Amino acid sequence: MSRPAIAHIRLDAFRHNYRVAKAMHGGKALAVVKANGYGHGAVQCAQAIANEVDGFAVACLEEAVELRQAGISKPILLLEGFFEAAELPEIVANNCWIVLHAQWQIDIFLAAKLAKPLHVWLKMDSGMHRVGLAPASYQQAFNSLAGHANTANIVLMSHFANADNLKSIHTKQQISVFQQAVQTLKFDEVSLANSAAILGWPQSYNHWSRPGIMLYGADPLTANALNQLAKTVVSEHPQSLRAVMQLSSKIISIRNIQKGESIGYGSIFNADKDTIVGVVACGYADGYPRSATGAPVAVDGRITKIIGRVSMDMLFVDLTDITAADIGSDVELWGDQVSANDVANAAGTIAYELFCNVKRVQFSYRDKQ
């Protein structure tokens, strides 16, 4: 028997979530599959929706080339555009769309001799202050690109800093900064919404959305413990999101620990009563967070919790109330019964990071048509 730590990837759930995202927003939707599809496998996820998707978004040319080599022919947007001028010929050859987010990129783009004009997404910094042109320089940047021989067309875009927090006024402020800065421009298309905006900010809807995390079944709004309001927005929607990844393993050892004994590195769990402890073949080298002590976990379909220190290859679960559990019992670390958001909360992080960190485990793909 090989090691039982497995990431089951349900591509039918991925396709379902893409349809939910697109239907909620109502416009066209770029499926964001950067960082190897948030750790799920970019090629497999892309292939599962290749027939119906409007396009994909990735972080860089290398990620786009991987999709092209796998036969993906739909548009692919490079979310950070190029990092140096030398990438431009390959960007054209691979038929990618580019974000331009800084004046240095625009200068290189306008000076380049391109074999074909490119689709440009011109990014504004409407308040996140990471990348994007300042609202005051946006119009001039737009005018320098519009009508230039290297520009096929321009989509106006911006990105939200706080869309996962429905109580923050920041998203409304970003929308209004954006709208004011573009009102005199002659543009065709706009793109603002990431997953959180699709789920919580209908004011941000326009031609294109850019859903990422929701395609993988994690809801960024309910991940935010502050956000009670968000829960109603999402639960009112008839089709909820489905977890795409189920990270699972098995119990490989059982210990009967007496009151007063401790377990694992650092002995951070001290039994205050006699305790049955299960050892699971999954650890932080698989991407399960070392800081997730106390997180929920399901054993044979019953919820219990992680106890003691997560180690590199193994972790402990409390089996005291799950008397039927035995060697070989199924353990779900996250998936349908245990939400990745809850594990992330226990570990002080977000589901995005959990998914991106999954490694070493076997990946098993399933697609029910």
Name the site residues for ligand PLP (rule: CB under 6 A): 32, 34, 79, 159, 194-196, 210-213, 220
CB of 243 to ligand PLP, least distance (A): 15
In three-state secondary structure terms, 99 is strand
Judged by CB, which is closer to ligand PLP: 105, or 311? 105
Closer residue to ligand PLP (CB): 217 or 287: 217
**In this structure, are residues 23 and 249 in contact, taking their beta carbons and an 8 Å threshold?**
no
Residue 101 burial class via C-beta count within 10 angstroms: exposed 0-12, middle 13-18, buried 19 and up = buried
Q: Which lies closer to ligand PLP via its Cβ, residue 159 or residue 250?
A: 159
Place of tokens 């920041």: 170
CA distances from 83 to 52, 59, 109, 121 (A): 30, 11, 11, 15
Backbone angles phi, psi at 309, to 5 degrees: -85, 130
Q: Could you confirm whether 265 is annotated as catalytic?
A: yes
Minimum separation from the CB atom of position 213 to ligand PLP (A)? 4
Q: Given the complex with ligand PLP, which of 224 and 249 has the nearer CB atom?
A: 224
Q: Which is nearer to ligand PLP, 8 or 210 (CB)?
A: 210
Residue nearest ligand PLP by beta-carbon distance: 212
Picking from 157, 174, 196, the residue whose alpha carbon sits closest to that of residue 77 is 157
Least separation in angstroms between CB 209 and ligand PLP: 9
CB of 31 to ligand PLP, least distance (A): 10
Work out how close the CB of 240 gets to ligand PLP at its nearest, in angstroms, rounded to a whole number.
16
- Of 172, 259, 265, 359, the active-site residue reads 265
Query: Using CA atoms, how far apart are residues 221 and 168, in angstroms rounded to an integer?
Result: 12
Active site residue 116: no
Q: How far apart are CA 25 and CA 211, in angstroms?
A: 10
* DSSP assignment of 184-196: TS--SEEEEE-HH
CA atoms within 13 A on the CB side of 351: 28
Selected catalytic residue, list 22, 34, 123, 250: 34
Catalytically annotated residues: 34, 265
